[in-house]
Amino acid sequence: MLMLRQILPIVLGLLYLVSPIDAIPDLLPGVGWLDDLLILALVAWTVMSQRRGMNPWDVLRDRLGGGRGRRSAPRPEDLTADFSQMDPYALLEVSPNASAEEIKSAYRRAVARYHPDKVTHLGPEFQELAHKKLLAIQHAYESLQGKRR
């Protein structure tokens, strides 16, 4: 399902570009290419978002204020967030129905990313931030392991 959500917008966008049917006919020079450029920009944005490890639809919902007035939960990529208040699944970047193996591999990836040996080249404030996030990741993993037993 995830693979389909990642590939489908790209395939549909590219099919629209090569299709002879357009919202604005290409016979009108300049104006006829606007819809093609818009679709091309959306495909490029989707690909770039996926390469950065983000779901482009979540990014779009957040930018358009999809919270409907509610304050959304802090995101793992937010550097000012209180990591201890985050959802353990969001902190490890796994879905709530993830298997124990998926949680374990996500934990290992996160620990590898924020391990003190990996952030020694950064300034002291970033090292402290990485330490706080690492502690929150460890706590999240332990709490999820307790739920699985």
Give which of 82, 137, 84 is closest to 115, Cα–Cα. Answer: 137
Nearest to 6 by CA among 53, 70, 67: 53
Domain ranges across the chain:
2-63, 83-148
Cα radius of gyration (the chain): 20
Q: Which fold has domain 83-148?
A: Helix Hairpins (1.10.287)
For 92-121, the pLDDT digits (tens) are 888 888 888 888 998 998 888 888 888 888
For position 57, what pLDDT does the model report?
A: 66
Q: pLDDT tens digits, residue range 39-53?
A: 888 888 777 777 666
Its pTM stands at 0.46
Buried-exposed string 49-75: b where 16+ CB fall within 10 A, e elsewhere:
bbeeeeebeeeeeeeeeeeeeeeeebe
121 in helix, strand or coil? coil
**Angstrom distance (rounded) from CA 114 to CA 111:** 5
pLDDT band at residue 68 using 50, 70 and 90 as cut-offs: very low
More confident residue, 120 or 70: 120
